[in-house]
A and B are shown apart, each in its own frame.
Chain A
Amino acid sequence: MARSKTARNILLGIENLLLHKLRTFLTMLGVVFGVGSVVAMLSVGEGASQEALEQIRKIGSNNIIVTSIKAAEDASSSAMQANMSIYGLTYNDQIRIEETFNRIRQTVPVKMVRQECRLGERALELRVVGTLPAWFELLQRDVVAGRVLTDADIANLAGVVVLTEFGARKLLAAENTIGSTLRVGSSYFEIVGIVRSEGGLAGNIQMPDEQIDAYVPITVARERFGDIATTRSAGGYNREMVQLHQLIVEAASIDDVESVAKGIEAMLARFHKKEDYRISIPLALLRQAEATKRTFNIVLGSIAAISLLVGGIGIMNIMLASVTERTREIGVRRAIGAKRRQIISQFLIETIVLSTVGGLIGIGLGMFIPWLITYFAGMPTVVTLKSVLLSVGISVAVGMVFGLYPAVRAANVDPIVALRHE
């Protein structure tokens, strides 16, 4: 009974609004654009943070990535010995880190070498990474064919190689290549598997497997290729000695990531004269993405709030005009026996219907704009149920806030004066 009465009142409100279709539509526009921008803005922010989350998941949110870098002043520093630059993480760094921190699950060393490789007729330079089976646990990638490295490979110094999708494409290798022999430098390896690889940046962190073509057991890499890499350049030879190119540290839990990273930073600072390493924390990216989202939401949120305010004032303006226009009607209703609050609810319902319908159209617009953004600018956008519900709430609230004053004005109309009103 009460529900059907509300429904009837809403219908009456709609009927009244439909009497002035153009006016109603124009009045709605403010809310349409206000709500539209709220939904669109939230979807862009949400898209950005979900994208960040997705990338972080690919790197591993519990991981800390320590990468060897050639310190800037290295070119002329004392570390140059006989045309050789020595920098980066050492085998000892890994041992120290593993022994010092107990909130670590495991560490995975990465030793990268560039070698001339040959598969059948095809020969080219590949980036080969020596690592442990744990690599494949930390960076979860689908196995396209065959298998990944095993502990036995490490222990037995097995001459096996796992290609990345990327490397396989270069070599024109496919599933049927499993079991074939790949020549790496002067050694021969059996191709045992192909795994997927991820490229691109997650914020400013490069995917660890972005440029890797193949994996071999780290023990084999150390034995066969050593720590010194020679590259030919214009002036002659450049020799570099790097023991480990990267160390991926997996913290015991997500709560340990930041403290462990700090500890590693302090420890490395103590043992390295120069800062020839960089520590990246995917988790920090998440924080960054969230901070960006917050800023984004605040800035665009204020813009949306202003447009909603303008829309609300527009509604209030029209409703005040409508109250004046309908003074006589109000007088008649009051004379017949309508109570003040019934007049208030009549006008308030009209305003809320107006703003809510505007809001719903706005939500449609707000879902269309992100689609355009994604389609044309390639930016990820996600319209969440939360933002839609929020928008509906905002629309109703705009109607209530800006409709209240006109409604109270209507209710305070003196019926005697109103009945004489022209």
Chain B
Amino acid sequence: MNWSNILTATLSAFFGVNAMYFALSAIGLNVQFGYAGLLNFGQAGFMACGAYAVGMTAHYYGISFWWGVPIAVVYAVIFGLIMGVPTLRLRADYLAIVTIALAECVRLIVRSVTFKKYFGGSDGINQFANSFVSKTPFNPSSKYSLYPFADSVNAVGSVLLLVSFAVCSVLLGHMLAQKWAKEERQGFQTKWIISAVAVMAFLMIASKQTEYDGLSFKSLVVGWILAAVIGGFIYMLMRSPWGRVIKGIREDEDAVRSLGKNVYSYKMQALILGGVIATFSGIMFSVSRGSVQPDNYSRDVTFYVLTALVLGGLAKVSGSIVGPMLFWAILSFVDAFLNELAKSWGGHVDIFGIPLITESSHIGVYVQVVIGLMLVFLMVFRPQGLFGNKKEMALDGH
């Protein structure tokens, strides 16, 4: 058992590309589902809008894929309108059905043989992000770490990493202190300081174990900055009167309508805003790999993002960012642990004579089982998610 490998895999995943693009997608889904109560099961479709917009722009027009970003936003708005116009006046479940179907339509169209010359069929579009890859200040073939004092990080990088760790510590520390202090505000400052120091210590120790290649590292830096900025915007929006209307709609749209708000328009705004954010998730994911493949935008992705969001806690910006990090950390831990286990047991694992793992490809199946179990346990023991509010959950709807 090489525990150091397991730890590196787990902690790298905690801050990794998967967590980053899931976080962006989850922030968007949180606007739609967490705040506005819209059951969008087609988030992967919005992500595909972003991925294909940048991919096609670079590939077919020979211009920098950056032009794809505004095009991606336009695609997401159009996709949101196609979803919303027929369904948002109807009961919530219609939206769920239509979104899941439309996202699949998108995937089937882009992977179809008929449109292969536009979308590249099931192979997708490859190596379009060369302008992103080549401009990277990081060498694609060397290893990088998020640890501020690592050898691979220069002085500017150290300062930037330290500052962002500090900001995270203060914000997360504040939240943890609130949970810790519950109602009573006494000694809140002390609790805040202790929590912030604890988060900072965790970030320093954890980041030391991380290891990324140059391209992933650049995507991470860009992606997490994007997630922080968008998360901040959503935090502000949800505290504005706009957010108040959106949260009101989640609870009872007739009440909100009786107070003179155009509920249909607000629902459309939430759907499209969440979709545009998800589009950035698709952009970052495709850019980080320099390729677009249709099957990266299947239903599974939508439901994994949903799981990660629920894990973090609905209607909380922090939940939508930390949820995906934990989700991928847990998955990577299980994956790495089983791999090491199989390795140390001579390539296969059997318990009571039952061969559980005989090839490394079997491990993926167990990872899926873990996702399922994770959801079940979450619903049973902490339905409000890690950051959610239990008191809020307990209030009845009428």
Partners in one complex: no
Instruction: Give the A-binding residues of B (Cβ under 8 A).
Output: none
